[in-house]
Every structure is written in structure tokens, then in C-alpha cells.
């Protein structure tokens, strides 16, 4: 089938068509293994009468530098139910995921997003579809435990969710991007036009009926993690500054507290001056200068994050561009 071919069939009136959306970045090692597992789960759902035999896997190549797209193309030739799109260049996990969801939206009854590393249990998709057929429009995949994580990974992840919650960001604890969304939920998601994507914060705002499926997270089937600590920190900052103004409010209250402290220090200085007491000024002056200078730089950095977000949003640039399609 040609790269420019696009599905034009309508939604079925019988069993639901399920699209499994898989963002891929340099996953040539993991993808052949994960595609087999995902197709097996779709076949199981078809045999149980939960999903249509037309259900499919949609791989999104996020500008990979290895042979990921070739793996997708070969899989499509051997099984047309494996479909693919390739972004014109690397845009990041959230944009690749959105591109896949928006591509699948017109030709599915529900879409399930899952990473290619299969750390999220594919078998949980069966329960997700059952809850979808019972009326849930968004079903979150939530980890039942973090026993397989290292101490560092487990504690930094918990700090990640706790910090987001305290900053006013509404996210589902221990949920990444493993979820089912109905066609209606996808249509509502398409109306959110921000360029700074943080789907874990956007989707809870949609407000449809939700459900939760718990599962045990496994090790990667192959390859290396694409989310080191630096990316997790950047991801957290993007989420907070995209959905909460609380850091700006914190800066305001810190400024008020420092103003009160300045008044107290002023009273002390005048008292010492008129009382003819010796004031060791150099140490206190230097400490206060460095302390206030650091706070000012931090405050400028936080404000700069928001100004940068505004700068990018007002451009209204396309969030992604699809260069190839195998549908």
C-alpha cells in the first residue's frame, strides 16, 4: 500500500475497533517483540467478542535515527493491521503520541496508548476494553507497585507526583501514558490547542467518565530507556508551568516575607545606630547580598519559564508534521 494511502472506512456498528497507538523513538530492537505481543492481545479480544477483528496497531515513528521505520514498514507488508506514520523530525514523546491519537481518531471507537518497550503490561488492555464497554470513556493504566524500580527511581518518581500535586497540577498518581480513550474523548482532546503538551495534565481535565486498571510494570523487552533523570525533570517543569501559576504566587509570598524581614532588619539597624552599638556590617551585608541575588535569579528563571511558554504559544506553529503513512 502506498505511503499516502489513508483509511476512509467509517466506524463499525458492531464490535468496537480498537487502535493501539505506539510512539517509537529508536526502538528497532524492541518493536519486533512488542508488535507480536500487541497483536496477540488484539486477537484474544477478537476471539472473546470484546473487539473487532479490524482492530489494529498504529506505530508512530518520532524521527528515529535507527531502522525503526523500516521495521514498521516490513511489519505492515506482512500484516496490514500493523500501520504506521512517520513524523518529519523528532518532536518528542508527547507530540508523537498526540499525532498517533489524532490519526487514529476518525477510524476507531477507542485508542489505547502504550510504549514500545512493553514495560506496561499489554494484557491490561483487555480489562481496559471491558471497562470501556461498560461505559468508561477514559481508562487509566496505573502501576500497582514500584517493586521493580531501583530505590533512586522509586523515590524520584514519588517526589515527581507529589511535587506536581503541591504545585496545583491534577495528575493520576503512578500513571504515565498508558490509557484508553474513547472516540468521544479523543474528539474533546483535539480541541485543546496548546503547543506545550503535557497529556497527563490535559486528559484529566476532559471530565468524562473514567476508570482505573492496575498492573505490574515489567522491565524493558529490549533497548535502553529514553527517559533519563534530566528528561524527567524537564518533563515535570513543562507540566507544572503549563497548568499551574502557583510558582508565581510562591514568588509573591516569598517577596512579602522578605519585605517583612527587611522592615525588621531596618528597625534593628536604626536601633543599633542610635544606640551607638558596633555593627559588624561586612558579613551581614555580603550574606544578604548573595541571598537576595540568588532569590532574584530564581524568580527571574521561574518567570522566564512562563514567558517562554507564552512566546511559543503565540506563534501557533503546527505541533507535528507527518511525512509518511502506512495505512
Per-residue pLDDT of the chain (327 residues; tens, 9 = 90+): 344 443 333 344 479 999 999 999 999 998 999 999 999 999 999 999 999 999 999 999 999 999 999 999 999 999 999 999 999 988 888 889 999 999 999 999 999 999 998 889 999 999 999 999 999 999 999 887 766 666 666 666 666 667 666 666 666 777 778 999 999 999 999 998 877 777 887 888 888 999 999 998 776 555 555 555 566 666 566 656 666 666 766 776 777 676 677 667 666 666 765 666 655 665 466 557 667 766 776 777 777 777 766 766 666 666 777 888 898
Count structural domains, the chain: 2
- Residue 180 has what pLDDT? 97
- Confirm whether 46 is domain-assigned: yes
* 63's grid cell: 524521527
Mean pLDDT in the chain? 79
- Residue 5 has what pLDDT? 41
Do 198 and 285 sit in the same domain of this protein? no
- Residue 11 has what pLDDT? 40
- Residue 219 has what pLDDT? 67
CA distance 115 to 33: 12
- Confirm whether 241 is domain-assigned: no
Do 199 and 262 sit in the same domain of this protein? no
Do 61 and 203 sit in the same domain of this protein? yes
CA distance 297 to 143: 38
Do 45 and 143 sit in the same domain of this protein? yes
- Residue 8 has what pLDDT? 38
- Confirm whether 233 is domain-assigned: no
3-state secondary structure 135-172: CCCEEEEEECCCCCCCHHHHHHHHHHHHHHHHCCCCCC
Instruction: For 118-139, write each residue's pLDDT tens digit.
Output: 889 999 999 999 999 999 999 9
CB 131 within 8 A of CB 139: yes
Do 263 and 207 sit in the same domain of this protein? no
pTM > 0.85: yes or no: no
Do 127 and 260 sit in the same domain of this protein? no
Instruction: For 179-195, write each residue's pLDDT tens digit.
Output: 999 999 999 999 988 77
Do 270 and 201 sit in the same domain of this protein? no
CB 62 within 8 A of CB 23: yes
Do 74 and 25 sit in the same domain of this protein? yes
Do 102 and 68 sit in the same domain of this protein? yes
- Residue 312 has what pLDDT? 64
Structural domain that includes position 80? 18-224+319-326
CA distance 159 to 177: 18
- Confirm whether 100 is domain-assigned: yes
Q: What Rg value do the Cα atoms of the chain yield, rounded?
A: 25
- Confirm whether 189 is domain-assigned: yes
- Confirm whether 236 is domain-assigned: no
Do 119 and 173 sit in the same domain of this protein? yes
State the CATH number of the domain containing residue 125.
Answer: 3.90.550.10
Do 116 and 59 sit in the same domain of this protein? yes
CB 88 within 8 A of CB 49: no
Do 190 and 257 sit in the same domain of this protein? no
Amino acid at each position: 500500500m502506498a505511503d499516502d494511502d489513508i483509511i476512509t472506512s467509517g466506524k463499525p456498528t458492531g464490535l468496537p475497533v480498537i487502535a493501539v497507538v505506539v510512539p517509537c523513538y529508536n526502538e528497532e530492537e524492541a518493536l519486533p517483540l512488542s508488535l507480536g505481543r500487541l497483536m496477540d492481545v488484539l486477537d484474544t479480544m477478537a476471539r472473546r467478542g470484546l473487539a473487532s477483528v479490524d482492530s489494529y496497531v498504529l506505530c508512530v515513528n518520532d524521527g528515529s535515527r535507527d531502522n525503526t521505520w523500516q521495521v514498521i514498514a516490513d511489519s505492515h507488508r506482512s500484516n496490514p493491521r500493523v500501520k504506521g506514520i512517520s513524523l518529519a523530525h523528532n518532536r518528542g514523546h508527547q507530540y508523537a503520541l498526540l499525532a498517533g491519537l489524532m490519526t487514529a481518531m476518525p477510524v476507531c471507537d477507542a485508542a489505547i496508548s502504550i510504549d514500545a518497550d512493553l514495560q506496561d503490561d499489554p494484557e491490561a488492555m483487555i480489562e481496559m476494553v471491558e471497562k470501556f464497554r461498560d461505559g468508561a470513556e477514559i481508562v487509566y493504566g496505573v502501576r500497582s507497585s514500584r517493586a521493580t524500580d531501583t530505590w533512586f527511581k522509586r523515590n524520584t518518581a514519588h517526589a515527581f507526583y507529589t511535587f506536581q500535586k503541591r504545585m496545583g497540577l491534577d495528575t493520576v498518581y503512578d500513571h504515565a501514558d498508558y490509557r484508553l480513550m474513547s472516540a468521544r474523548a479523543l474528539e474533546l482532546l483535539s480541541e485543546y490547542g496548546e503547543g506545550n503538551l503535557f497529556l497527563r495534565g490535559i486528559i484529566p481535565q476532559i471530565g468524562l467518565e473514567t476508570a482505573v486498571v492496575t498492573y505490574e510494570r515489567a522491565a524493558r523487552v529490549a533497548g535502553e530507556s529514553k527517559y533519563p533523570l534530566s528528561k524527567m525533570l524537564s518533563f515535570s517543569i513543562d507540566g507544572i508551568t503549563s497548568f499551574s501559576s502557583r510558582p508565581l504566587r510562591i514568588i509573591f509570598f516569598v517577596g512579602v516575607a522578605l519585605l517583612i524581614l527587611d522592615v525588621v532588619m531596618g528597625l534593628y539597624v536604626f536601633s543599633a545606630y542610635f544606640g551607638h552599638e558596633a555593627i559588624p556590617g561586612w558579613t551581614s551585608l555580603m550574606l544578604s547580598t548573595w541571598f537576595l541575588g540568588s532569590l532574584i535569579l530564581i524568580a527571574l528563571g521561574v518567570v522566564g519559564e512562563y514567558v517562554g511558554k507564552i512566546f511559543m504559544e503565540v506563534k501557533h506553529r503546527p505541533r507535528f508534521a507527518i511525512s509518511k503513512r502506512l495505512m
